[in-house]
Amino acid sequence: MKAAIFDMDGVVVDNHQYHFRAWMSFAEKYRFTLNEEIYRETFNGKTNADLFHMIFGRISPEEAKRYAEEKEGLYQTIYRPEMRPHVGLIDFLEYLRKQRVRIALGTSAPTSNVDFTLDTLKLRSYFEVIVDGSMVERGKPDPQVYQLCAIKLGLDPQDCVVFEDSLAGLESGARAGCRIVGVATSHRATELTVKTDLILHDFTEARSLLKLSQK
């Protein structure tokens, strides 16, 4: 492994329930059907642009931006008092640094949420490369996010390990040609087995499992 590429929501932070609460408030206001099953199966990993076109049909970029700002404002208000890095993450990032493994972030989240997360938690310095939803034309499960991360790192995707929690994200990383580690936050571990090389519940397990996988 020459590089580790982390998804953000559900990986860097275990924030599934906070996004879901924000989306439920948004769904109630705009009167569209949403529940836990729909959210887990169709919302995770997708860009806001993809989601708002799915919900509202053909809308202008300005309308999509307005809806995104409203929904992400709800999310940030709900999550800010509770936010913290995922369990064991910082120790694992420090370990990767010592091993001279390069570190990137590949997320479908908008830039505002990336800034909110990385700057509030003071994590930005760990990531050499950051690719967010504003930088790609096609969201996950399309491989573009992780292909672009590999390009910016100057590495072959097969030398990169992607850490992902969503089914769309797992598919994105696999289609990009990366090795995949599933993080069982927004989905149960049994749901992540198809496309993953390893499965973690949190990053306290990461070092030992990665070492075992390399034997």
Give the single-character DSSP code of 158: G
The mean per-residue pLDDT over the stretch 100-116 comes to 95
Residue 149 is encoded by which pair of tokens? 């991360």
Confidence tier at 188 by pLDDT (50, 70, 90)? confident
The mean per-residue pLDDT over the stretch 21-39 comes to 94
Q: Which fold has domain 3-14+84-213?
A: Rossmann fold (3.40.50)
pLDDT for 207: 81
Which candidate, 14, 26, 130, 124, places its Cα nearest to that of 75? 26
Burial of 13 (0-12, 13-18, 19+ CB in 10 A): buried
| pTM for the predicted model, two decimal places | 0.89
User: Where do you find CATH 3.40.50.1000 in the chain?
Assistant: 3-14+84-213
The mean per-residue pLDDT over the stretch 146-164 comes to 97
Burial of 112 (0-12, 13-18, 19+ CB in 10 A): middle
| Ordered alpha helix ranges (H), the chain | 16-30, 36-38, 48-56, 61-79, 89-98, 111-120, 144-153, 167-176, 206-213
pLDDT for 116: 96
pLDDT for 189: 87
> Is the separation of the CB atoms in 192 and 7 below 8 Å?
no
The mean per-residue pLDDT over the stretch 157-184 comes to 94
Confidence tier at 192 by pLDDT (50, 70, 90)? confident
Distance CA 35, CA 191 (A): 18
Comparing 118-127, 133-142, 185-194, the range with the smallest average pLDDT is 185-194
Q: What percent of the chain has pLDDT over 90?
A: 77
pLDDT for 29: 96
CATH for the stretch 16-81: 1.10.150
Distances from the Cα of 193 to the Cα of 65, 146, 158, 164, 196, angstroms: 35, 20, 19, 12, 6
pLDDT for 177: 96
Phi, psi angles (nearest 5°) of residue 190: -65, -20
Residue 204 is encoded by which pair of tokens? 């306290």
Residue 27 pLDDT > 80: yes
User: Where do you find CATH 1.10.150 in the chain?
Assistant: 16-81
Residue 209 pLDDT > 90: no
pLDDT for 193: 76
146 C-beta neighbours (distance < 10 Å), count: 29
Residue 82 pLDDT > 60: yes
Residue 125 pLDDT > 80: yes
Distance CA 195, CA 199 (A): 10
pLDDT for 80: 96
Confidence tier at 213 by pLDDT (50, 70, 90)? low
Residue 43 is encoded by which pair of tokens? 């919302």
